[in-house]
Amino acid sequence: MRKRPILYFTKRSILERPQRIFLMVIAVSMAVSLLVSMITVAGGMRKRLADELKAYGANAIVSSSEYLGEAVAELLKQKKGVIVIPELYGRLCLSGKGQLPRHQLMLNVIGMPSEAMKELKITGTIPSTREVLIGRRLKEAGGFSQGAELNLSENCDSSSTERFIISGVFERVGPEDSGIIMELHRLQEILGLKGKVSVVLLRISPEDFEDTIQELKSSLPNIEIRPIRQVALSEERLLKKIETLMLIVLIVVVLASVITVAGMMASTIFERLVDIALMKTMGGTSRQIQTFFILEAFIVGVMGSFLGLITGIIAAQAITLSAFHKTVAIPVIVIPVAFFIGITISVLSGIPALKRVTAYRPSIILRGEI
């Protein structure tokens, strides 16, 4: 009581009517929670989408009837926002360990640069020049495990085999699953195709997709450029639709919340009409009386925001977990936004009723004419 009597009085007032306060807190937290989950999901979804995009693979492929030189890859790297993966396809003969039946001894091999391997979903580590990655299906078919040895040669009759160690397993949807991936230059060496690649895979961001394809087609006329998967594009559109829907729902909920809180505030204030008149007879100015109530609204706002923040984050995680089987990172901006909205809702909805009430003359209230 010593330092800040108004806080003390407000605290007592709040403790007096816990149910009413609780309801108001819930109302505020609903709006805040929806807002928080929307921001988190929207922010996280985009990032998730980008990650998913990487797992699904490239969305355009550059090829020609023959091998492409590495110079083409260099040209493509100049393009902003395009991830370029030159790949060399070949087949190598696996000899030695494993339970593979005879006809599976020729393995599909993809040579790609080490930096490109970072984009893959790998269980294990990126292979050095003495190591390879094997596809999931190959792993299961051959019963291989990480750290096992593979003997590979250019063809099965060759006596010169080279030993590689399996450094990990990669996930890539498609026929590559039953093959291996090794470092590009190494494969070029083994196959005697120095400086050549079979294709160049591109990952172009969905927004620039059409334009970039056009540009590339005009700058590389003899070379075929094809989009491979349209998955990411349609997902992008879906995301936008979801966001719009959530926005509408958000507005509705916020409005509902504001109306609820405003209604509760108004009824609270009208209930305490006599208290207000009493404060006036004690010589309280409108501002002093308003401070009392606005402080209460403020505290309700803070509590509601806090609750809404927590429920919103939980809800967001639930949504992303069910849709993408992953949790989402919480953008820090969400915290101040939550508090801002929550406090604004609760304070603003109390003000109209407050202004009306403090304008009354005390005698009217005390006489009971209200």
Partner 1 sequence: MIKVRGLKKVYQTAIALRGVDMDISQNEWVSIMGPSGSGKSTLLNIIGGLDYPSEGSVTIDGKEISAMKEDELAVFRRENIGFVFQQSYLIPYLTALENVMLAQYFHSIVDEKEAKEALERVGLGHRLHHRPSELSGGEQQRVCIARALINSPKLLLADEPTGNLDRVNTRLILELLKDLHRDEGFTIVLVTHDPYVAGWGKRLLTMEDGRIIKDEVLHP
CB atoms within 10 A of CB 30: 21
We find the least distance from the C-beta atom of residue 8 to partner 1, in angstroms, to be 8
Would you count residue 332 as binding partner 1 (CB under 8 A)? Answer: no
Give whole-number Cα distances, 23 to 19, 27, 264, 291, 308, in Å. 6, 6, 9, 22, 13
CA dihedral 293, 294, 297, 302 (to 10 degrees): -140
Instruction: Count the residues of the shown chain that bind partner 1, applying the rule CB under 8 A.
Output: 29
- Report d(CA 216, CA 224) in Å as an integer: 10
Output the DSSP codes for 86-101: EEEEEEEEEESSS---
We find the least distance from the C-beta atom of residue 250 to partner 1, in angstroms, to be 37
Nearer to partner 1, 331 or 362 (CB): 362
We find the least distance from the C-beta atom of residue 263 to partner 1, in angstroms, to be 22
Site string for partner 1, 11-40 (x = CB under 8 A): -xx-xx------------------------
Exactly one of 200, 264, 279, 338 binds partner 1 (CB under 8 A); that residue is 279
Exactly one of 145, 156, 361, 370 binds partner 1 (CB under 8 A); that residue is 361
List Cβ neighbours of 134 (8 Å cut-off, separation of 6 or more).
Answer: 142, 144, 150, 166, 169, 170, 179, 180, 181
Would you count residue 48 as binding partner 1 (CB under 8 A)? Answer: no
Strand partners, 141: none
Q: Kindly state the tokens that stand for 319.
A: 């949504």
Strand partners, 132: 166
Would you count residue 9 as binding partner 1 (CB under 8 A)? Answer: yes
Mark the segment that binds partner 1 (CB under 8 A) among 9-17, 28-36, 173-181, 208-216: 9-17
Give whole-number Cα distances, 355 to 137, 214, 266, 329, in Å. 72, 63, 11, 42
Would you count residue 291 as binding partner 1 (CB under 8 A)? Answer: no
We find the least distance from the C-beta atom of residue 318 to partner 1, in angstroms, to be 40
- Report d(CA 292, CA 297) in Å as an integer: 9
Mark the segment that binds partner 1 (CB under 8 A) among 175-183, 209-217, 252-260, 276-284: 276-284
> What is the H or E stretch that residue 7 is in?
helix 5-16
We find the least distance from the C-beta atom of residue 21 to partner 1, in angstroms, to be 13
We find the least distance from the C-beta atom of residue 362 to partner 1, in angstroms, to be 5
Helix (H, G, I), strand (E, B) or coil at 201: strand
Site string for partner 1, 236-275 (x = CB under 8 A): --------------------------------------xx
We find the least distance from the C-beta atom of residue 267 to partner 1, in angstroms, to be 17
Would you count residue 7 as binding partner 1 (CB under 8 A)? Answer: no
Q: Kindly state the tokens that stand for 244.
A: 């719009």
Would you count residue 280 as binding partner 1 (CB under 8 A)? Answer: yes
Mark the segment that binds partner 1 (CB under 8 A) among 2-10, 96-104, 195-203, 250-258: 2-10
Asked whether the beta carbons of 229 and 59 are under 8 A apart, the reply is: yes
Would you count residue 363 as binding partner 1 (CB under 8 A)? Answer: yes
We find the least distance from the C-beta atom of residue 316 to partner 1, in angstroms, to be 39
Exactly one of 256, 282, 314, 321 binds partner 1 (CB under 8 A); that residue is 282
Among left, alpha and beta (phi > 0; psi -120 to 50; other), residue 201 is: beta
Nearer to partner 1, 219 or 285 (CB): 285
| Phi, psi of 54, rounded to the nearest 5 degrees | -65, -40
- Report d(CA 108, CA 89) in Å as an integer: 7
Work out the burial of residue 244: count CB atoms within 10 Å of its CB; fewer than 13 is exposed, 13-18 middle, 19 or more buried: exposed
Which residues make up the interface to partner 1 (CB under 8 A)?
1, 5-6, 9, 12-13, 15-16, 274-275, 277-288, 359, 361-364, 366-367
